[in-house]
Amino acid sequence: MEGKLIIISAPSGCGKSTIIGHIMDEGTRDLRFSVSATNRSPRPGEQHGVHYYFLSDEEFKSRVSTGDFVEFEEVYPGRYYGTLRSEIESNLKSGHNIVLDIDVKGGVNVKRQFGDRAISIFIEPPSIDALRSRLEGRGTDSPEVIEERIGRAEYELSFAPQYDCRIVNDNLDTAIRETAEVIDSFIARK
């Protein structure tokens, strides 16, 4: 049987990476992570081929023109991210399920292409105010950057109704459990 796609999107600061990391690390499910391509620079600790395929602007453009992407988006001005066909097709054919951590437009696009073979999960904060306190609590961003992130979060939240399933991350353990349950029942579905 062919594998399935699990699409996960969320505004930044909603704990998406933590939730995905936990579920993948449990190691109890046949899940492979779809490594995206991007033209942004690696952050400290990020490895090519593990976190992303880090491409130059030219390489990214050339792979767009050769049709190598299932989808790609300019998620931030000048910063492109895309899902490579090669990354998902062979895994799907050999029956592995694939987790895609992609932005809202990419998520809706992939769901449209794959229909019932994909589930789209949206992780959301309990409220915009809760997200603001969380970002302020991290102490890593200036007030201007926080307001920018909030503005973007509001835009991203407007896509939530297009997702198959919404998980509110109020309590991390609960959000992990709920996400895992959604994934398990989707994988078990014939």
Q: Which of 144, 29, 172, 45 is nearest to 98 (CA)?
A: 29
Distances (CA, A) of 35 to 51, 64, 138, 142, 154: 6, 16, 27, 30, 26
Secondary structure letter of residue 42 according to DSSP: P
Alpha helices in the chain (DSSP H): 16-26, 57-65, 85-93, 104-114, 128-138, 143-157, 172-188
Taking CB under 6 A as the criterion, the residue among 22, 32, 40, 149 binding ligand 5GP is 40
CB of 190 to ligand 5GP, least distance (A): 28
Q: Is 73 in the site for ligand 5GP (CB under 6 A)?
A: yes
Q: Report helix, strand and coil shares of the chain as percent, to nearest 5.
A: 45, 25, 30
Taking CB under 6 A as the criterion, the residue among 81, 122, 163, 186 binding ligand 5GP is 81
Q: Is 183 in the site for ligand 5GP (CB under 6 A)?
A: no
Q: Is 179 in the site for ligand 5GP (CB under 6 A)?
A: no
Nearest residue to ligand 5GP, using CB? 106
Q: Is 83 in the site for ligand 5GP (CB under 6 A)?
A: yes
Q: Which of 186, 131, 147 is nearest to 163 (CA)?
A: 186
Q: Is 124 in the site for ligand 5GP (CB under 6 A)?
A: no
Write out the two tokens for 30: 């046949």
Taking CB under 6 A as the criterion, the residue among 5, 6, 20, 36 binding ligand 5GP is 36
- Region from 60-68, 77-85, 114-122, 168-176 binding ligand 5GP, contact rule CB under 6 A: 77-85
Binding residues for ligand 5GP, rule: CB under 6 A, are 36, 40, 71, 73, 75, 81-83, 101-103, 106
